[in-house]
Amino acid sequence: MQVNIRHLGEVKFEACARGHRVICDQPASNGGADQGMTPPEFLLASLGACAGFYAAQYLKTRSLECEGLQVEVTAGKATQPARMEGFRIVVTLPCRLEPQHEAGIQRAVRACLIHNTLLHAPAIETEVVTRHSAAA
């Protein structure tokens, strides 16, 4: 998997993957033009979309109604070091399910790739590369 990020000026960035493009920006209160979600909002969106995908797949494979499925993700902000904490995922289903299917949805959401990545933090390697043109 790969996503390429390009600085567009000020505090705005463009993220591109597989021909898709999204804008990441900051609210005006933080020096941006509020033309896109912030990086922490992208993280919440990623977790919620992944949880929703797994929940929908569970429902679909059991021929249960999934039209209208919604997911809300919230988190707090901690300091020292700056990070997000206390993620909460709320899956709202379009219809009432039997208890075994509610438990199945819970298991499905917990199997989500992003959920498991956050629970089992991967090593993150950081490299800084400088590009300079040859003098003519």
Query: What does the alpha-carbon distance between residue 13 and residue 69 come to, in Å, rounded to a whole number?
Result: 30
Same domain? 53 vs 103: yes
Q: What is the pLDDT of residue 136?
A: 53
CA distances from 22 to 8, 16, 38, 94, 111 (A): 12, 7, 11, 29, 26
Q: Where are the alpha helices (DSSP H) in 62-133?
A: 99-110, 113-119
Question: Domain check: are 54 and 80 in the same one?
Answer: yes
* Same domain, residue pair 68 and 112: yes
Find how far residue 76's CA is from the centre of its chain.
15
Single-letter amino acid, residue 83: R
Predicted local distance difference test score (pLDDT) of residue 133: 60
pLDDT greater than 70 at residue 134: no
Instruction: Band the pLDDT of 94: cuts 50, 70, 90.
Output: confident
| Residue 129 domain-assigned (yes or no) | no
What DSSP designation does 87 have? Answer: E
* Shared-domain flag, residues 31 and 81: no
Could you tell me if 31 and 21 lie in one domain?
A: yes
Are 71 and 49 in a shared domain?
yes
* Tens digits of residue pLDDT in 100-125: 999 999 999 999 999 999 999 999 99
Domain holding 93: CATH number?
3.30.300.20
pLDDT tens-digit map of 6-15: 999 999 999 9
Rounded average pLDDT over 73-90 = 96
Q: Per-residue pLDDT tens for 21-71?
A: 999 999 999 999 999 999 999 999 999 999 999 999 999 999 998 799 999
For residue 66, the model assigns a pLDDT of 79
Q: Given pLDDT bands bounded at 50, 70 and 90, which one contains residue 135?
A: low
Same domain, 62 and 110: yes
User: Are 50 and 72 part of one and the same domain?
Assistant: yes
Using the CB atoms, write b or e for 6-29: b if 16+ within 10 Å. eeeeeebbebeeeeeeeebbbeee
Helix (H) or strand (E) holding 42: helix 39-61
Q: Give the C-alpha separation, 55 to 109, whole Å.
A: 6
